[in-house]
Structure 1
Amino acid sequence: MSLVTTIQPDGTPTWIDLRVPDLERALEFYGALFGWEYAPDSAKTGLGTVCLLRGRPVAAIAQASPATTDPGWTMYFATADCDGIAKRVADAGGSVLTAPADIGEHGRAALAEDPVGARFGLWEARAHVGCEVVNEPDSLVRNDLVTPDPEPARAFYTAVFDYTLDLNETLPDLDFTFLRRRDGHEIGGIFGFPVAPRSVWATTFEVADTDAVVRRAVAAGGTADAPEDTPYGRSATLTDPFGVEFSVITRPAQDRQPPPAAAYDR
């Protein structure tokens, strides 16, 4: 079990949310899939309806506005200075889609887009630190950028968050580089995939049984690719009733054990 009780270091994926055209349908689907419960009246906080695992926040789902054309999971990077990082985004060639703004007492947030068109968020935590459960079944385990144009993305994220890049020697035939914080901690990676239809930060959830989750997704009105074994575990790509893609993975038991005192084992 990985509990997060403190504000995460800059550049760490710290929160995710989803905007959909039918909130009640989405709550039914993800509740059936992951067993999430929902915080009463949380939609009034500005965060959206907060999804709970064992009573702790793991994500949020909100009703999309009529202007929303790109439903999907949005990942937020932790930052101690939302305004400052938003400026760095613009200076590095990205776009600030929604200017930094306070979300009540919970924190300060902005939405941005990198030079290859992938959307992400910034979260300056206050009362709300972000996902409080990670890296265990039914919670967030990983985010990776999938893009047909990886080089501008690598330059952008190293400029904005001071990441370092590290080759993935486990999969040498793939164009994949790890992103590491200044302390060396891996936070995700950039996958150059020439046939990708667009650039997107892909969201992956840990699950206890990939095959069982695939069956639940289909029964709840989603679709799923056939599960496959990878060097990192058994995974599958799912699509919810609104066309939003995400992945699930069952990792080997030894890989699910966080190091002592770890908060975010990315």
Structure 2
Amino acid sequence: MRHLFTFLILAFATISCTPGVSPPITSEISTSDYTPGRVVWHDLASPDPEVSSQFYKAVFDWDAVPYGEGSKKVWIFKKGNTPVGLMAYYDSKNSTGEWIGAISVPDVEAATNTAKSQGATIMKSAMNVENRGMISFIQDPQGAHISLIKLSNGDPEKKPAEVGTFLGQELWSNDPSNSAGFYSSTIGYSTSESEMGDGEYTVFQFNGENCAGMLQNPAPTLRSHWVPYIRVSDVNETVAKAKSAGARVLIEPAPEIRNGSVALLLDPTGAPLAVQVYNP
């Protein structure tokens, strides 16, 4: 997976050197405020951008808008006029696609150094990327991939997710106790625990605000993962669309799992994602 992160960074760096093609991410999503601890952006590393583009269009009505050409090409997923994520191509015989969430931190270099001292593997050190800001990529001690970011113009507005956009991020950890300690040290999270079904559910909080969730990994075929959630209006309809578009369903909607409101998918490139009905 190391070259996955290298390719993502190279894609961002090389495209920023090409006049007129740098995707206008921060100018379209940023405000003047920062909200540390929140997952504020999502990147998809895809071995087949055409397949990924078709899937996310069919299931969530996202348009993949291209920027650059050849090896410098990336895509911005948009829901209507709203950017929801970036996709870059990478070539791998042994790996699959993956969504990588970006956690807002005040100082990317400091947080990255702390992560390393706590046992993380630094996949790509902190670097400044035009039209994004400072960013690094890490693999936590349990194998989950995440990026640390300080967007150049501030974080997106904190507001309820619209249908068809990212609802939140959840860490499916093979060792939740270890993960809780790691993210408390690296990000500054506090934790709150509650019972959920047969196990314990942890909420990561920053300054009293809920930022992400964590549970014991319920999918033994997967390593530890940060799993992105996308809000949908009808989970069964979405699952049917996803199947038709080439997804594999790992966890079907079931009454005993969050009242049948959620499902876990692997998109056609193997990237895990969850879909959930959310009615606040």
Instruction: Find the counterpart in structure 2 of residue 217 from structure 1.
Output: 242
SS in structure 1 at match of 2:76: strand
Cα distance, 1:239–1:159 mapped onto 2, change above 3 Å: same
Cα distance, 1:141–1:122 mapped onto 2, change above 3 Å: same
Any idea what the Cα deviations from partners look like across 1:112-146, whole Å, max 9, x if unmatched?
01111111001110158469986221111111111
2:212 to 174, 188, 199: 188
Instruction: Find the counterpart in structure 2 of residue 260 from structure 1.
Output: none
2:229 to 204, 208, 215: 204
Moved more, 102-111 or 205-214: 102-111
SS in structure 1 at match of 2:261: strand
Measured after TM superposition, the shift of residue 175 of structure 1 is 2.3
Instruction: Find the counterpart in structure 2 of residue 148 from structure 1.
Output: 174
Measured after TM superposition, the shift of residue 39 of structure 1 is 3.0
1:10 to 33, 36, 54: 36
Instruction: Find the counterpart in structure 1 of residue 138 from structure 2.
Output: 112
Instruction: State how 1:117-136 maps to structure 2 within 5 Å.
Output: 117-127=143-153, 129=155, 135-136=161-162
Cα distance, 1:43–1:34 mapped onto 2, change above 3 Å: farther
Measured after TM superposition, the shift of residue 226 of structure 1 is 2.8
Measured after TM superposition, the shift of residue 66 of structure 1 is 3.7
1:129 & 1:233 partners in 2: Cα distance?
Answer: 32
SS in structure 1 at match of 2:135: strand
2:176 & 2:79 partners in 1: Cα distance?
Answer: 34
Contact 2:217/2:224 (<8 A) preserved: no
Cα distance, 1:105–1:5 mapped onto 2, change above 3 Å: closer
- Structure 2, unmatched stretches of 5+, are 1-27
Instruction: Find the counterpart in structure 2 of residue 227 from structure 1.
Output: 253
Higher helix fraction (1 or 2):
2
Instruction: Find the counterpart in structure 2 of residue 61 from structure 1.
Output: 87
1:58 & 1:199 partners in 2: Cα distance?
Answer: 24
Contact 1:206/1:248 (<8 A) preserved: yes
Contact 2:253/2:260 (<8 A) preserved: no
Q: Determine if the alignment matches structure 1 residue 249 to structure 2 residue 276.
A: yes
Measured after TM superposition, the shift of residue 106 of structure 1 is 2.1
| One-letter code aligned to 2:236 | D
Moved more, 196-205 or 62-71: 62-71
Moved more, 83-92 or 225-234: 225-234
- In the superposition, the TM-score normalised over structure 1's length comes to 0.83
Cα distance, 1:240–1:194 mapped onto 2, change above 3 Å: closer
Moved more, 124-133 or 142-151: 124-133
1:100 to 116, 121, 126: 126
SS in structure 2 at match of 1:138: coil
Percent identity for Structure 1 against Structure 2: 23
- In the superposition, the TM-score normalised over structure 2's length comes to 0.80
Measured after TM superposition, the shift of residue 41 of structure 1 is 2.0
| One-letter code aligned to 1:214 | V
How many residues matched?
A: 249
Q: Determine if the alignment matches structure 1 residue 240 to structure 2 residue 267.
A: yes
Instruction: Find the counterpart in structure 2 of residue 79 from structure 1.
Output: 105
Any idea what the Cα deviations from partners look like across 1:179-229, whole Å, max 9, x if unmatched?
100x20011122123763421111111011111111111111222243224
- Structure 1, unmatched stretches of 5+, are 256-266
Cα distance, 1:52–1:128 mapped onto 2, change above 3 Å: farther
In angstroms, what is the RMSD of aligned CA positions? 2.8
Contact 2:67/2:73 (<8 A) preserved: no
SS in structure 1 at match of 2:37: coil
